[in-house]
Structure 1
């Protein structure tokens, strides 16, 4: 099997996992507060990443970093998982999954915009056009099709969803200067973020956790969305001979996610969700043209 085929398999497995997490979020939040869910998911993620590092023979790397890198782990842990997932879970707690999930996908566009001031990249006309198309989709979904009224179904929930894209994009901007092994870095971020999450959870919601479906869904999120999916996507990017083909797989995820949302959560998918999602994916596709052009340019230079 070629490296590209392996990359596509890893990518498809990741997309399948990503497609289930919106449903898992809502199942967990039926009986858990966002901070309780975050605590459970963070603990599950730490365990699964520790197992992965041990199986890969990279556990020793956890103890071989510099003092500066451990301090960096504390700072990045406050962003992800602490701030990012609290804001994201807050959005899913207030909005239907079919609304929160597509809005979160605009983080890739936010990343492109933030790369201009912080990474010195150029903003092209296609980026501006992609933004207009994407955020037209956001307005359609957030207003449930009542675009002319500009009356949002849940302004705070929409704010949380869009805020999560800003936090996540900022995290990846910071991560561009991260020299740690990716899995080791994520493991330490979560490990140092866990005490902060536990303290906040204890002071606000308490530790009286329900058992059953909500608990299982929170563990699922920690194991697969926060842990396994990250490792699989890392493998996909490492194996890929053509990264744009693998990256394009993410466009499958939000549509497949609607299938799980409909059949498992029982949400009636509104026409505005389909229209808005197509606009958001269309805008992200336009933005991807920039990446493809850069790859083609690099290929010609080689």
Structure 2
């Protein structure tokens, strides 16, 4: 049954978890290579999602899919978690958290643009304006305020962060044709992606993980960012009477994240980060308005 109050609570819980992960990423990457962190996090996430499916009485769904859906799980697992998190953790390994985190939020805009050729959606003037505003914020953050020089502090890190948005948006476009149960689908994607990550980790960095804060942070990422947060958000969407109100909670996350980055990581937050983040959020808000207007038009037309 729909319950907007419960939906908002689930949404707020998700946003709180998402707000902590940039800090957890950096803590994990202090002593772990990105691929080592990914292996630990994905393994933890697979275990958590398996437990969730068992507690919900839906474990049998894991074994009730068609051969084509299992093949689909392998393909999607190579995209997420493998390719997406290789890029994302690589970006966080090279950039300060206050820079990598806002850049990653531009995936929603990339999704809108990729939906034009792949889903047949129309590109409107508001989408273009939103993109200009959003990517102006990207330039401000990536140049640390030196906009006129266009001198990027770490072009590889910025490229990895922006590349992750393309991969993540592509994943969700492919997911529009996914008929599997969302949690079952994510569980299988991660389960099939795990051996690939394990082999790459063993071949490149080794499987020797020191006990300590970094290991705990990687486990936290797997349990909460990759596991519980996804389930909470799916509950929020199912319970919502008004999905746009729940979706708007996302805009709290990057600003709250800066609080954790400042107090836990001790990063000095640059003015360029604030300015760039405001521009990115403004661009995403404009894009959200366009989506909301389209949804209202469909309701009125129906």
Q: After TM superposition, is the score higher than 0.5?
A: yes
- The whole-number CA distance in structure 1 between the counterparts of 2:221 and 2:250 is 18
The count of corresponding residues between Structure 1 and Structure 2 is 302
Q: Structure 1 residue 54 and structure 2 residue 54: aligned?
A: yes
Counterpart of 1:236 in structure 2 is 236
Matched, 1:272 2:277: no
Contact 2:2 2:238 in 1 (8 A): no
Residue equivalent to 2:301 = 301
**CA drift at 1:301:** 3.1
Q: Tell me the C-alpha RMSD between the 2 structures.
A: 0.9
- Residue 3, structure 1, aligned to residue 3, structure 2: yes
Offset from partner CA, 1:83-107 (integer Å, 9 cap, x none): 0001000000000000000000000
- What displacement does 1:290 show? 1.1
**Structure 1 position 298, deviation (Å):** 2.7
**Hey, what's the Cα distance between the residues in 1 that align with 2:248 and 2:301?**
23
CA distance in 1 between counterparts of 2:36 and 2:186 reads 20
Equivalent-residue separation in structure 2 for 1:299 and 1:293 (angstroms): 10
Task: State the partner residue of 2:195.
Answer: 195
After TM superposition, the runs of 4+ consecutive aligned structure 1 residues lying more than 2 A away are none
The Cα of 1:25 is off from its aligned counterpart by: 0.1
The residue that corresponds to 1:246 in the other structure is 246
Aligned partner of 1:97 in structure 2 is 97
Secondary structure class of the residue paired with 2:180: coil
Indicate if the aligned counterparts of 1:137 and 1:278 stay in contact, CA closer than 8 A.
Answer: yes
Map of 1:206 onto structure 2: 206
The reply to whether residue 176 of structure 1 matches residue 176 of structure 2 is yes
**How far apart are 1:291 and its partner, in Å?**
1.3
- SS at the partner of 1:116? helix
Question: How far did 1:295 drift?
Answer: 2.2
**Which residue in 1 is equivalent to 2:36?**
36
Alignment TM-score, normalising by the size of structure 1: 0.99
The aligned counterpart of 1:281 is 281
Q: Deviations over 1:232-263 (max 9, x none)?
A: 00011111111111100000000000000000
Q: Post-superposition shift, 1:54?
A: 0.3
Determine helix, strand or coil for the equivalent of 2:189. Answer: helix
TM-score (ref. length: structure 2): 0.99
- C-alpha contact (below 8 Å) 1:244/1:291 kept by paired residues: no
Gaps of 5+ in 2: none
Uncovered stretches (5+) of structure 1, i.e. residues with no partner? none
